[in-house]
Chains A and B, each alone.
Chain A
Amino acid sequence: MMIHRRISLSFCAAAVLGLAVLIAGQALPKAGLPILTTSAGQSTDVTTLNIVLDEAAIAYDYCDVPTPEMVADGVGLGGRESGPGFHVESTTDPDKHPAGTPYKAVIFAIGASLKGMGASGLTLDSEEARLKKVIDLCKKNKIFVMAVHIGGESKRGPAGSDNERMIDAVAPFADAIIVTKDSNKDGRFTKIAEARKIPLTEVEYALGLVDIMKQVFQ
């Protein structure tokens, strides 16, 4: 490779990187507790998200397929319990946030899995519709929305694919986007963040989310 070409490529890379840093440099937003974690597309990435929060010692409620009504019911999701195709968990401290306390943040782990959606009795269309309703509720009630994509390039898929539809359903409406570098190789999240002026943070590994979560929620 010729030297001047190397310099040009380096300049381009620096420019792109600088832009990403600039977007990330909007400063990581702060958000409050309590938190609800959920999936956009029913992949196992939401398990990773929950493990990240455990590691960061941040308590959360989890529901794989919450409806707007469930989110509106706040901590404890109105007392709903796990059943076939429906899972809830909670590590939220009831002394700090008793049942019914409105959520201040909802974190979506984006990742489409036909197997996961099938197990929850969902189709791509119904999952998309559900997500729209939940996000509408969050916006209406000023609930902080965080979009997380940690599945990497391999789980992205081409434009219009299942995973990309899940990204479109959540990321443009988020108050913060956190992705692994591998998930943003094509700059898709950078473009969304730029267009919508959403702080975007890239991490190398899922482990990097631990510190990010601490910064946002503590």
Chain B
Amino acid sequence: MNIRRLITLGGMLVLAVVLAGHMSTAVGESAPADVIAGEGCTSILVGKDASTDGSVMTTHTCDCGTCDWTWRHVPAADHKPGSTRKVYHISQYKTWPPSEGLKWDLYKNDFTGLEIPQVAHTYAYHHGMFGYMNEKQVSIGESTIGCQRKMQNPTPAAKLDLSMLTLLGVERAATAREAIQIMGSLAEKHGYGFHDDGEMLAVADPNEAWIFEICPVGPLWTPESGKPGAVWAAQRVPDDHVSVCPNESRIGEIDLANKDFFMASPNVVSLAVDMGYYDPQGGKPFSFKRAYSPVEGSAASTNGRIQRLWRFFDLVAPSGKFKPETPNMDLPFSVKPDKKISILDVMTMTRDRSYGTPFDPVQGIRGGPFKNPNYYRGTRVIDHGLAEYSTITQSRAGLPDAIGGIVWIAFGSQDTSCYMPLYAGMTEIPKSFMVGDHWTFSRDSVRWAFDYTDFHVQVAYSEAIKDIQAAQAKYETELVNRLPEIDAEALAHYKKKPAKAAEFLTAFALNNATTVTNAWWKLGDDLLVKYNRLYLYDAEKRGFSRGQPAIPDWWKRAARAFDILMEPDKK
């Protein structure tokens, strides 16, 4: 390497530092693979006294990238004594071409052979990859946490996958506690695993939010063994606290004497002892996460790969001065937020990209001239552009369940999408929510409306995202502000006749979904025109001279520096 190139390289490094404004040594290429439990979903929980409106909230960013995104509504049903409920294997990841049919019809071809006694009445609910909200306002969010490798049970002896468990939970439970007990006991009896291993569910109702964590017990389990076919624990988030699960087990020490805050399977400690994951003579209390799903490292030590836990606590409680160097296992289960959290705050959190932190994905030249956070994915942020959809559930006391329960859905990447409400009392969901897949473009599918717009944002991200935010303000923020008015109208209908409220809410939400979907198709068209060929076309002025999105000077200098760096050595 010649002197000129060395100088240039040094100059580039200095330039990068200056441009970024700050450069932490924590930012690097990637973390060692063995400390990463998963790269999937993030789930946030908000207790009723931690929210501005008293609602209990859960979230699920359904991060996959190649999974099914379709939704269904399942109506309530009464069942005759002696009837049974078939149990199916449901893979979170398996998809089918639209020509073969839809997931929520085809999964029934994979019958496990197990039929369990049906209950007298099953509740109505809305579901996507998981059961999210039932007519009693029992709601669910999810995040994969992984487990010790020897605990995995991919054998057919395990009849219950996570998706199936959540469907059974929302079918049968009137409270969060009931849902946990139902899912836990079914998994113990019939075996848990097959397609899934360590998993966390955020389970809530209008009064409580719980973190429920479940793991298989290894592939040699049989139902005839008489032992539980799953191990699980659940811990309640204090009412004035918030918590999060970013693909890491959150439940540490458990106090089963404190029934208001803890539940667990009977083998919760004994299995860890049997499998060698906990030594009762070791002088340390039993910890669920350390035994079954340990994750080593911190946000800093993994160069941001596991920074979501720290980031969340830093976002909601900056006064806590949480440090990115703190090992994740030592971060708290939950915190009291510095200020109460609104539904709009939660929407913003699901869109978080860790801007301005040591793990900023667009610092330096990482995001290119238009600061696109999708170019450099070294940091695993909450909004990683992987979501099939994201959900925010609100369970609201003081309202009839049909009106109080809302699951907000944003299809595609959160930053360019728009949250739309589905009420617990709705009797149908939009048809466009029920179709589509990643490999076949369809104007009938809501998801493609959002992907279409998202695609056109990538061209000049820092500019186009402003157009998106303006649309979000119009179709999302304004709707949130109108909620009290909608509640009041629904309540008036409900007092006359509950079915009328269901009709009103269904019509309202279907109409809103159509309005938003059409707006996003048009937004995609508008962005295509506006940023066409990386110029700026003003559709109103229709002027001869078109502008161009401003290419920052630092980018031009970085490009020149790169040219020099790549010059061949002179002999």
Binding site for B on A (CB under 8 A): 43-45, 47-48, 51-52, 55, 84, 115, 150-155, 180, 182, 204-207, 210
Contacts and interface: CB of A to CB of B under 8 A. Distances in A.
Contacts of B150: 47, 51
B220 A84 contact: no
Interface string B199-227: 00000000000000000001111100000
Nearest to B195: A154
Contacts of B155: 45, 48, 150-152, 180, 205-206
Interface string B126-158: 000000000000000000000001101111110
Given A115-B93, A154-B110, A154-B194, A47 B156 contact: no
Nearest to B218: A51
B33 interface: yes
B110 A47 contact: no
A45 B221 CA distance: 14
A151 B156 contact: yes
B152 A205 contact: no
Interface in B87-113: 89, 93, 110, 112-113
Instruction: Kindly list the 6 A-B residue pairs having the minimum CB-CB distance in the complex, ordered from nearest.
Output: A152-B156, A48-B219, A207-B220, A182-B156, A206-B155, A205-B222
Contacts of A47: 149-150, 152, 154, 219
A185 B38 CA distance: 34
A118 to B, nearest CB: 11
- B89, B152, B154 pick with most chain A CB within 10 angstroms: B154
A174 to B, nearest CB: 20
Interface of B: 33, 89, 93, 110, 112-113, 149-150, 152-157, 194, 218-222
Nearest to B155: A206
A184 B219 CA distance: 18
A117 B380 CA distance: 23
Nearest to B110: A154
A212 B33 CA distance: 35
Contacts of B154: 43-45, 47-48, 151, 155
A151 to B, nearest CB: 7
A204 B157 CA distance: 9
A47 B222 CA distance: 17
Contact of B220 (A43, A52, A115, A154): A52
A154 B156 contact: yes
A180 B194 CA distance: 14
Given A44-B152, A45-B154, A47-B149, A206 B110 contact: no
Contacts of B113: 182
- B149, B153, B156 pick with most chain A CB within 10 angstroms: B156
15 contacts: A44-B152, A44-B154, A47-B150, A48-B153, A48-B219, A51-B150, A51-B219, A52-B219, A55-B220, A115-B93, A153-B156, A154-B156, A207-B220, A207-B222, A210-B220
A155 B161 CA distance: 14
- A48, A115, A154 pick with most chain B CB within 10 angstroms: A154
Contacts of B222: 204-205, 207
A51 B220 contact: yes
Contacts of B93: 115
A207 B222 CA distance: 8
A181 to B, nearest CB: 9
Contacts of A182: 113, 156
Given A204-B222, A206-B220, 7 more contacts: A47-B219, A48-B155, A51-B220, A115-B93, A150-B155, A152-B156, A206-B157
Nearest to B154: A44
A51 B221 CA distance: 12
Contacts of A151: 154-156
